[in-house]
Amino acid sequence: MFRLWVKVWKDNRLIRDTVVENDRRDTRTHKVLQGLEEGCRRFDLAVPIWLDSSIRDFKRHARCRFTKDSFIEEIDFDYLEIWVIEEDTFY
């Protein structure tokens, strides 16, 4: 089971979070992108743009933050954070 924790932060407080699960046989990249899309859909947000810094942080730590620079529309929070909390043993 692959699980992605999607969190919305404002003023150093967690204001919303959800865990997106995916048990399909797919690549890790696809699961991350699908999890991010599903989390944004649950929060009624546009999907953020992956900047070079986001990609670098995600590769290094299996988590990253999307700030206002990653969104096309205005956001009313400080950042959206994703974090892989469980990974499959197969791909």
Token pair in block for residue 42: 């649950």
In a domain, 91, yes or no: no
Per-position pLDDT tens, the chain of length 91: 999 999 999 999 999 999 999 999 899 999 999 999 999 999 999 999 999 999 999 999 999 999 999 999 999 999 999 999 998 765 5
| Long-range contacts of the stretch 44-53 (C-beta < 8 A, 24+) | 45/71, 45/75, 45/80, 46/71, 46/72, 46/73, 48/80
In a domain, 69, yes or no: yes
In a domain, 33, yes or no: yes
Q: Which residues pair with 20 in a beta bridge?
A: 4
The answer, as to whether pTM is greater than 0.85, is yes
What residues contact 86, with CB distance under 8 A and at least 6 apart?
Answer: 1, 2, 3
Instruction: Identify the domain containing residue 21 by its residue range.
Output: 2-86
In a domain, 35, yes or no: yes
Q: How many structural domains comprise the chain?
A: 1
